[in-house]
Amino acid sequence: MTTTTLPATASSMTLDDAPTAGMFERVTCYLCGGDAARPFISSVDDLTGRPGRFTFVRCEECGLAYQSPRLTLNHVKSYYGDGYIAHRKTSWGVLGPFFEWVMGALDRAKRRIVERVTPLTPSSAVLDVGCGAGGFLAHVHERTGATVAGVDFVDLSTHPGLRGVEFHHGLFYEQAVGASRFDVVTMWHFLEHDYDPVRSLASARQALKPGGHLVVEVPRLDSLSFRMFGHRWPGLQAPQHTVLYDKATLITMMERAGFEVVEYLPYGAFPPYFYLFCGAAFTVLRGRGLNLQKGLWAYLAGQVLLLPVLPILKHLNFAMQTVICRRAQL
C-alpha cells in the first residue's frame, strides 16, 4: 500500500541554498512530446522567498506552457516540507479554528462541484489524487458515507485527517489503487504539480469505473489574475508547478487521455481572492517571501473590504478552472 520508487536519498539542499544547474533536468512537451519551445516567463519562489530562478517555456507545436528545465523529483521534494500549506501541518495558534473553517469551506465547495454531475452516496467510491492531509476525503465520508481513498507524493499517513482512510504514498501512476473501482477520481490542484500528467490521467482512467467521473481543478493561465500580475502571478508557484494550463490545453490533455469532457467551469473550489491577495503581496514583496500567518490580518481586512465584489470574481475567469470528464462506457 505504501510502495514508492521515490529516491530514497533526500536532497542535501538547505532552505537558504539556490538550486544549482545539476539539480535541473530539461523537459519535452508534456502534451505533444515536442522538443521545440520558446521562453515564456521566468519566476522566483514568491511564496517562501527561497532563492532561485525558474523558467517556463511554451511549446512551439501545441502551445502548452511548462517549466523547463525543472528540478528533478529528488530536489523538488524539499519544497513540499512541513510548512506547505495544503498539508495542514502549520500551527495557526488562536487562528486555528478560523483556518479549519476556511479549509472546511473549501472541502464543501469541492463536494458541490462533484455533485454537479454525480450524487455521492454510501455506495460511492471516491479517490482523491494529491489528497494532502485528507480533509476533502474526511468531509466526503462524513457527509455522504462514501468509501474514500487518497494518494499523495508526501507521506501524511500519520496526520489525524487520514486516520482510517486508505492512503497510498508515492507517485500516483505507481500505486496499485485498483482497476475500474472508483465512481469519482478528483485532482484538486494536483495536475499542475505532476511530473507526468498524461500518465497520471491514464491511471485515473484505469481506476475509474466505466461511466465514472474525473474532476480536475488547476490554476488558469488565460485568466484575469495572470494578466494583472504577470511574473508575480501566484499560479506560477515556482518551482512546484510544472505545467501552466489554459482552457484549450487543459481540455486537449483530457481528450488525449481518452476522457469525454462533460463540463468546463471558469472557476474552482479554491477561493479566487487568495490569488488577488497573494498577487498583490508578491508584487509588493518582490520575492522576499510571504508569511501567511503574519499576513492573515491583512488577508482578512482585504476580504472584508472587497466583500461586495468577491462573488463577481467567479464570473471573470479570474484565477481557476475546473474540468469534469467522464470515462466512456466501453
Residues that bind Zn ion (CB under 5 A): 29, 31-32, 34, 59, 61-62, 64
Taking the least distance from each CB to Zn ion, the nearer of 32 and 228 is 32
DSSP for 43-79 reads E--TTT--S--EEEEEETTT--EEESSEE-HHHHGGG
Q: C-beta of 31: minimal distance to Zn ion in Å?
A: 5
Cα separation, 49 vs 46, in Å, equals: 5
Reduced to 3 DSSP states, what percent helix, strand and coil does the chain have, rounded to the nearest 5? 35, 20, 45
Taking the least distance from each CB to Zn ion, the nearer of 202 and 228 is 202
Q: What distances in angstroms separate CA 88 from CA 68, 100, 298, one per listed residue?
A: 29, 9, 21
Q: C-beta of 58: minimal distance to Zn ion in Å?
A: 9
Taking the least distance from each CB to Zn ion, the nearer of 31 and 120 is 31
Locate cell 505533444: which residue? 32
Contacts (Cβ under 8 Å, ≥6 apart) of 14? none
Q: C-beta of 72: minimal distance to Zn ion in Å?
A: 21
Q: State CA 35 to chain mean position distance.
A: 25
Q: What φ, ψ does residue 301 adopt, rounded to 5°?
A: -60, -45
Q: C-beta of 25: minimal distance to Zn ion in Å?
A: 17
Taking the least distance from each CB to Zn ion, the nearer of 67 and 175 is 67
Taking the least distance from each CB to Zn ion, the nearer of 1 and 36 is 36
Q: C-beta of 199: minimal distance to Zn ion in Å?
A: 16
DSSP for 16-46 reads TPPPPGGGEE----TTT----EEEEEEE--T
Select from 138, 72, 146, 82 the least CA-distant residue to 107.
138
Taking the least distance from each CB to Zn ion, the nearer of 17 and 61 is 61
Q: C-beta of 27: minimal distance to Zn ion in Å?
A: 11
Starting at the edge strand that comes first in sequence, how are the strands of the sheet with 65-67 ordered? 37-43, 54-59, 65-67, 243-244
Cell numbers linked to 8: 530514497
Taking the least distance from each CB to Zn ion, the nearer of 62 and 198 is 62
Q: C-beta of 243: minimal distance to Zn ion in Å?
A: 11
